[in-house]
Chain A
Amino acid sequence: NAGVMQNPRHLVRRRGQEARLRCSPMKGHSHVYWYRQLPEEGLKFMVYLQKENIIDESGMPKERFSAEFPKEGPSILRIQQVVRGDSAAYFCASSPPRGTNEKLFFGSGTQLSVL
């Protein structure tokens, strides 16, 4: 079991470009969560998805940010027209199908740097 896989590990974008972050959950997991981590801060919840459904996007900015988890393939966090304030580590976590109080397993994160 390869665990939660995120890529790329590091992503550099210029202001105004688009950033696409990918997350493949652990085998058998169908629930995906995205978090943002700023330096010296905790993990801030952004969005929770199941296959083909966004369940809770209450932590995700309304503009420029979107997320999907298609039937086939990884979950994608998309940030359009990036700004310097988007620079952060973005972590994805997955949990088994039950989704309630199940242990979260994190990926290694994508460090986004906006120049």
Chain B
Amino acid sequence: GENVEQHPSTLSVQEGDSAVIKCTYSDSASNYFPWYKQELGKRPQLIIDIRSNVGEKKDQRIAVTLNKTAKHFSLHITETQPEDSAVYFCAAGGYNNNDMRFGAGTRLTVKP
């Protein structure tokens, strides 16, 4: 089955700086890569996702890149703001949602 590794486990940046979170996956059949943001005590919320037929996707300050050959994908947040502080989870999945597996999460802290 799929195995997802996520780094770093914690990340602290100054407001306005960029933050990068990286994930690797093991199953070459995986073709869907979502990212979730979870604020303390709240539900995970989808912030961006990418499918294997594209290498990059951007939505305002958030971008995701995918390297299928190397089996890794990354989340980039530019111009970080204190409200970006949360735990971010990557995930990788195949044809079925029940095949999707999550990384262990990255706790991002944006210092004002």
Chain A interfacial positions (CB closer than 8 Å to B): 4, 31, 33, 35, 40-45, 48, 55-56, 91, 95, 99-109
Size class of B's contact patch? 20 to 34
Option from B9, B31, B46, B101 in Cβ contact (under 8 Å) with A104: B46
A6 CB to closest chain B CB (Å) equals 9
With contact pairs A101-B31, A101-B32, A103-B49 given, residues A41 and B42 touching in the complex (Cβ less than 8 Å): no
| Number of A-B residue pairs at CB separation under 8 A | 63
Complex contacts, B69 vs chain A, CB 8 Å:
none
With contact pairs A33-B97, A41-B104, A42-B103 given, residues A109 and B34 touching in the complex (Cβ less than 8 Å): no
Q: List 13 A-B contacts (CB under 8 A).
A: A31-B97, A40-B9, A42-B6, A42-B103, A42-B104, A45-B100, A55-B98, A56-B96, A101-B32, A101-B51, A101-B96, A104-B46, A104-B97
When C-beta atoms are compared, the residue in chain B nearest to A49 turns out to be B98
Verify B93–A101 contact, CB threshold 8 A: yes
When C-beta atoms are compared, the residue in chain A nearest to B90 turns out to be A42
Q: Does B16 contact A (CB under 8 A)?
A: no
Complex contacts, B4 vs chain A, CB 8 Å:
42
